Amino acid sequence: MQRDTLVFDLIRQELERQRHGIELIASENFTSLQVMQAMGNVMTNKYAEGYPGRRYYAGCEIVDQTEQLAIDRLKQIFNIEYANVQPHSGAQANAAVALAVLQPGDATLGLDLSMGGHLTHGSAVNYSGKTYKPYFYGVTREEGLVDYEMLESQARTIKPKLIYCGASAYSRDWDYARIRKVADEVGALVMADIAHPAGLIAKGLLSDPFDHCHIVTSTTHKTLRGPRGGIIMMRKDFENPWGLKDVKGNIRMMSNVLDMAVFPGIQGGPLQHVIAAKAVAFGEILSDDFTAYAKQVQLNAQAFAKALVEKEYQIISGGTDNHLVLIDLRNKNISGKKAEQALVAADITANKNMVPFDDKSAFVTSGIRFGVPAITTRGLVESDMQFVVNVIDNVLMNADDANVISAVKKQVNDFMSQFKLYPEMG
Ligand SMILES: *Cc1c(COP(=O)(O)O)cnc(C)c1O
């Protein structure tokens, strides 16, 4: 067969784009070469519906071992009893939990999308808002911190079956114990979605959600720096609260209910090549190198936030505990949309984002979100954050000046050429 040069040329162009720019999208990262190599392998050819040792297809002896390795390593990372590594993405992990825990029409309570929450926590355009009855809590107007009082009063009034915590654009740690307390009071289960900060939680740099939340989900490609995918976890298994029984009449454990919600509930054959790459990434997370990486992410985020504050950028909540900041640009007289476009023109990638109590639409927005996991992987340290903030500020203050933008772009490309990305790829 002829090599598809059209597609491979585009892949090459994408590599060059990633090399030249400053990547500040908070949900992105650069996997190691071996994680990527593990993804492009013959296990993509294998059907393996079911779980290790209990498959609906023959010939699964080898993929059973990679999947079991991924599960065992993940359990070790978070010190947990249960892990499912099959969800194709974070959204799929959340869909499986919803299917396991909720009936159509059941009430849920999550952080509002416009306040930093995620689509899968009850947004009207998502299955989670269409199938279930979503209610929301927000952040406080003054401090920009999760409004736990609102969460508690909503929970007491609504009596949701599931409370979601976790977010996509929130720079502070969570009080999981406080959420669990009200959940117990109203008979709700708590799911923590740690898609963003999982890599920091893995190394004990943020509070541990596992003791307080019944179920924890995550992506594997954000701060965990693995292949694109999802995972579902529990520190302790427990009997499903609805008295569901198996064919022998035994009450099913939550682990069985969750496994069945992933397959056959929402997925067919698992992506065994991606699961192999997850196993590789989890092995890397267990190393001391990753401990150093996670600490550097947090240090870089703090240095980055400090440099922004010095230039009078308004960080929601005033600072960061994790890897990201959300900026309200209204005092700088530029919309999130315009800021995003100007930054991209200078090879700086970040995404526009609603800020709490935003008066602009989701397409325009008043804010922008920056995260440092990807540039930390490139090798940038605290002392580099001033340069990064200087170029951002220069672009945002001169968003209509094509000369400034092209001069900054050159500075950005020169600067990033010091930090090699996939040098093995030539
Ligand atoms: C990124 C994210 C997800 C979804 O992950 P996908 O892999 O894009 O489906 C879910 N929840 C939160 C909080 C996220 O930030």
pLDDT above 90: residue 327: yes
Beta bridge partners of 328: 314, 367
Tell me: is residue 121 an annotated ligand-binding position: no
- Answer whether 217's CB lies under 8 Å from 193's CB: yes
Q: Which atom of ligand 1 is nearest to the CA of 94?
A: 10
State whether residue 245 is helix, strand or coil: strand
* 137 annotated active-site: no
**In 229-292, beta strands by DSSP E:** 230-234
pLDDT single digits (tens) 19-34: 999 999 999 999 999 9
Q: Which atom of ligand 1 is nearest to the CA of 117?
A: 13
Contacts of 387 (CB under 8 A, 6+ apart): 415
Rounded Cα distance between 70 and 271, Å, is: 13
- Answer whether 286's CB lies under 8 Å from 64's CB: no
Where does the pLDDT of residue 223 fall: very low under 50, low under 70, confident under 90, or very high at 90 and above?
Answer: very high
- For 215-235, what is the mean pLDDT? 98
- For 404-421, what is the mean pLDDT? 98
CA of 4 to the centre of ligand 1 (A): 32
Q: How far is CA 368 from CA 25, 214, 216, in A?
A: 10, 32, 27
Task: Say if ligand 1 is within 6 A of residue 371 CB.
Answer: no
pLDDT single digits (tens) 345-361: 999 999 999 999 999 99
Contacts of 157 (CB under 8 A, 6+ apart): none
DSSP characters over 79-92: T-SEEE---SSHHH
pLDDT single digits (tens) 267-296: 999 999 999 999 999 999 999 999 999 999
Nearest protein CA to atom 15 of ligand 1, as residue: 168
What is the pLDDT at residue 247? Answer: 85
Rounded Cα distance between 222 and 285, Å, is: 13
The pLDDT > 70 percentage for the chain reads 100
pLDDT above 90: residue 17: yes
pLDDT single digits (tens) 71-118: 999 999 999 999 999 999 999 999 999 999 999 999 999 999 999 999
* 228 annotated active-site: yes
Q: Which atom of ligand 1 is nearest to the CA of 121?
A: 11
pLDDT above 90: residue 133: yes
Task: Say if ligand 1 is within 6 A of residue 90 CB.
Answer: yes
Taking alpha carbons only, the member of 258, 285, 279 closest to residue 62 is: 279
Beta bridge partners of 88: none
Q: Per the residue annotation, which of 47, 127, 148, 422 is the catalytic one?
A: 47
pLDDT above 90: residue 246: no
Q: What is the mean pLDDT of the chain?
A: 97
Nearest 5°: the CA angle 117, 184, 260 is 70
Tell me: is residue 50 an annotated ligand-binding position: no
| Cis peptide bond N-terminal to 52, omega within 30 | no
Q: How far is CA 317 from CA 277, 355, 364, 385, in A?
A: 36, 11, 22, 20
What is the pLDDT at residue 95? Answer: 98
The predicted model scores a pTM of 0.97
Contacts of 367 (CB under 8 A, 6+ apart): 316, 326, 327, 328, 329, 336, 352, 353, 354, 355, 358
